Amino acid sequence: MRLFNRIWSRTASYIILLAFTAFFVVPVIWLLFAPFKTDHNLVFQNPFALGSLGNLFHAAHVMFTFEDYALLNWLKNSAIYSFGGIVIALICSIPAGYGLAHTQFIGRRTLLGVTLFVMIMPATALVLPLFLEANAVHAVGTPLAVILPFSFFPFGVYLAYIFYSSSVPKDLLAAARIDGCNEWDVFRRIALPLARPIIALVTFFAFVANWNNFFLPFVMLPNSTNYPLPIGLQDLLSATPAFNPGQGGQVPIYRPELAIATIVAMAPVMIVFLFAQRSLVSGLLAGATKE
């Protein structure tokens, strides 16, 4: 009886895991097959039926030449906003986490508490004050209105704080000070090289958050030429007859073209994840044990 219950429990677990896997994998497979079909075939035929390379080339040509290569322009904007925000986020987050972990100063606990509070606060709640500040300095509609808020990454500060407080012994830093290093040299020569795993982790999370951010650029950028990809995908729906029958005057974009644009938007995150898997695992485990 016990053996039967064990087999049944394991079988049920496998069924649940397969169901969740299918829930996430099947839409991705459909998305990869979609550009190889015409819009009619995509709607009325088997969703996993094979298409043709001719349909793929036609859909890609229409999508990439849409409105004077708007997709490539949105891709460029997303790269500028994301990487610009990442650079400033790393410059701010790693030293801030180190300072909170290994420096004693008045207001340290308060500053750490504020960081944690902002980290759990919904990002949409900060959009209005950020817009008012950007408007006050006449930055609305410029790349800085998106890059500067992207660079404030409290989750990165918290990750760096956890890493430095749990994985970098204070005795190691004290030994460097005894050898004559000042605080800047201690951070630059000892703390920063040891933080490579957490730097990779902060970079990945910041990149994903910045690349997929929709609401902040939507509020800050009134001109479509400055749109990043997430807003560009929304803008494409206005040129799709299936979603906007009254789109007259524009070159129609159908479901295969939308599928190509979605794949282009997903590809950078997937590529970064594939090449950074080892560093991500090292970063996730960096603060799991205490020396």
pLDDT digits (tens, 9 = 90+) for 259-276: 899 999 999 988 888 877
Which amino acid belongs to residue 228?
P
**Residue 255, in any domain of the structure:** no
Choose the final residue of a domain: 24, 46, 66: 66
**Residue 237, in any domain of the structure:** no
pLDDT on residue 236? 83
**Residue 48, in any domain of the structure:** yes
Q: Is 163 helix (H, G, I), strand (E, B) or coil?
A: helix
Q: Place 86 in a pLDDT band, splitting at 50, 70 and 90.
A: very high
Q: Place 250 in a pLDDT band, splitting at 50, 70 and 90.
A: low
Choose the final residue of a domain: 43, 66, 89: 66
Are 15 and 36 part of one and the same domain? yes
Are 45 and 154 part of one and the same domain? no
Residue among 233, 256, 253, 257 nearest 244 (CA): 253
Q: Across residues 37-50, what is the average pLDDT?
A: 81
**Residue 235, in any domain of the structure:** no
Task: Give CA–CA dist 260/228, Å, rounded.
Answer: 16
Q: Place 76 in a pLDDT band, splitting at 50, 70 and 90.
A: very high
The total of structural domains in the chain comes to 2
Statement: residue 211 has pLDDT above 60:
yes
Mean pLDDT of the chain: 83
DSSP 8-state assignment for residue 181: -
Are 88 and 140 part of one and the same domain? yes
Are 4 and 83 part of one and the same domain? no
Q: Place 22 in a pLDDT band, splitting at 50, 70 and 90.
A: confident
| Token output for 195 | 């933080």
Q: Is 242 helix (H, G, I), strand (E, B) or coil?
A: coil
Q: Is 118 helix (H, G, I), strand (E, B) or coil?
A: helix
**Residue 261, in any domain of the structure:** no
Are 130 and 212 part of one and the same domain? yes
Are 188 and 45 part of one and the same domain? no
Are 216 and 96 part of one and the same domain? yes
Give the whole-number percent of the chain exceeding pLDDT 90. 11
Are 131 and 153 part of one and the same domain? yes
Q: Across residues 71-95, what is the average pLDDT?
A: 92
Are 155 and 43 part of one and the same domain? no
pLDDT on residue 186? 87
pLDDT on residue 62? 87
Statement: residue 209 has pLDDT above 50:
yes
DSSP string spanning 30-54? HHHHGGGS-HHHHHHS-TT----HH
Domain holding 203, by residue range, is: 70-228+267-286
